[in-house]
Chain A
Amino acid sequence: MSLNIHQLGYTYPGSRKAILHNVNIDFRSGEIVALTGDNGCGKTTLTKLLVGILKPKEGCICLDGNDIALMSLAEIGRRVGYVFQNPSQQIFCPTVEDEIAYGLKNMGLGGEEIEKRISYYLDYFELSTYRQTFPLSLSQGEKQRLMLAAILAMHPRYVILDEPTTGLDIYRRKLLGDYLLRIKTDGYGVIFVSHQSKFMETYADRIIRIENSQVTDDQGEKSDARS
């Protein structure tokens, strides 16, 4: 499973300046990649392009060699999970359990398998006590974990998180980081957007900096070159 960006460029409608230009990145499975850069440099835009919410104006993004511009959001979503900066905007079911089950039902899984995965991921993300709770009443960190659970339950190959550490205290940041390491060892590719250098240095295998619409630093690529 591969996720590659070739010569990517994007300009928002009505804007003359490209927010991203000539971006080339290869994301690998089993790797945690941090995207960083100043506010408004195009990090979130890049993540939205990676999941097909925005369509590239130049270049392409390939998932297993297939251009994602030709795929539906549902097809991409089964392979690339996305946690928004504000997870409240992607929670829409009446209970925590239903939230996790939603994607699994769409995948056509049987009741027994759905139940198994719900229990596993509720336990994995320490949400079992909230099983019948209204998800929008959870705390920010719990909502984030719920969204990770709902997305990982669908067994995508990549998970993208937009500024996941926003509003989390040190303990919860560590919990999140440990979850990321756990899912990395399970073979998931993780891409997250962050401004927190300590968090990135602790948990990311590779840090990509975006500046002036382009990738200006790719530590992973450098370490590959050195090796």
Chain B
Amino acid sequence: MRDLDPRSKLLMVICISTLAIVYQEPMQLLLVLLVSTLILFLVGADLKKVMQPLRKMLPLLLLLFLVQCIFTRQGAPLLTVYGIGIITDMGLNTGLGVMLRIITIIISAMILLSSSERDFLLALVQWKIPHEIAFMVMVGLHFLPILREEALNVYYAVQMRGTELQKISTSQKLKLYTLIMLPIISGAIHRAEQMAISMEARAFRAFPQRTYMRKLRLKKIDYCVQIGAVLACVSLLVLP
């Protein structure tokens, strides 16, 4: 499974995400989560890397869980304080569902990280997606870490000019974040312009046909995985 074609991985991710969005019951979502974790393990993804964003998102996930638990009023009360129902069974179900759904989508997206971005570009092109669009998607993904680093630099710079982030109000923080966006957007536009010039200077779209040095070829296991993923997804959605 480690050498799986990126198209097979993309198809699995689409199937998992679809199930995660359609399913509402925590037990069903837990099952989808377990399957996607197993696939992640089988494709050879670095589990430590997977845990990092999940760990960072944990407070947000818990907050979402609590908000859903408390503000869903339907269902039978499970926890009451002075006769007022705080948590209902439906609230608990909804909270768990939201949390599991987000974790599943993140984990399924991590399956894609086990292939290189160049392979994904080839995969999208071989799926007859126009090269310009596939290239744009890949460039977008490629620049995300750079944008993150730039945002961090501005964030540090703002603090180094005397802003105590812990001590300012939320409205001041929001104002500050709009300031932080200024160099990031400006940098992104500047980089896009430079890149466009550099690409055109190297004949991007100058000729009607573009060739590739490598071609992805589906193996037997890819056919099995793709057919299996689509069949499993459709039957799970159709079956009562």
A interface residue numbers (CB < 8 A to B): 51, 53, 72-74, 76-78, 81-82, 84, 88-94, 102-103, 106-107, 136, 150-151, 154
B163 to chain A, nearest CB (A): 6
User: Which residue on B lies nearest to A150, using beta carbons?
Assistant: B161
Give the number of A-B contacts (CB < 8 Å).
66
Q: Is the CB of B160 within 8 A of A73?
A: yes
Question: What is the CA–CA distance of A78 and B165 in the complex, to the nearest angstrom?
Answer: 15
Q: Is B162 an interface residue (CB 8 A)?
A: yes
The residue in chain A whose Cβ has the minimal distance to the Cβ of B48 is A14
B166 & A72 in contact (Cβ 8 Å cutoff): yes
Chosen A-B contacts, 26 in total, with CB atoms closer than 8 Å, are A51-B160, A53-B156, A72-B166, A73-B159, A73-B160, A74-B160, A77-B159, A77-B161, A77-B162, A81-B160, A82-B157, A84-B157, A88-B183, A88-B187, A89-B154, A89-B157, A89-B187, A90-B153, A93-B182, A94-B182, A106-B161, A107-B162, A136-B183, A136-B186, A151-B161, A154-B161
B158 at the A interface (CB under 8 A): yes
Whole-angstrom CA separation of A94 from B181 in the bound complex:
12
Contact between A74 and B164, CB atoms less than 8 A apart: yes
Select A90's contact among B154, B162, B165, beta carbons within 8 Å.
B154
Q: Which of B75-133 contact A (CB under 8 A)?
A: none
Inside 8 A of B160's CB, which chain A residues have their CB?
51, 73-74, 76-77, 81-82, 90
In the assembled complex, the CB of A163 is this many whole angstroms from the nearest CB of chain B, namely: 14
| Docked complex Cα distance between A151 and B163 (Å) | 13
Residue pair B157, A90 in contact (C-beta under 8 Å): yes
Compute how far the CA of A30 lies from the CA of B77 in the bound complex, rounded to whole angstroms. Answer: 71
For the complex, is B230 an interface residue (Cβ under 8 Å from A)? no
Residues of B within 8 A of A73 (CB): 156, 159-160
- Residue B222, interface by CB 8 Å: no
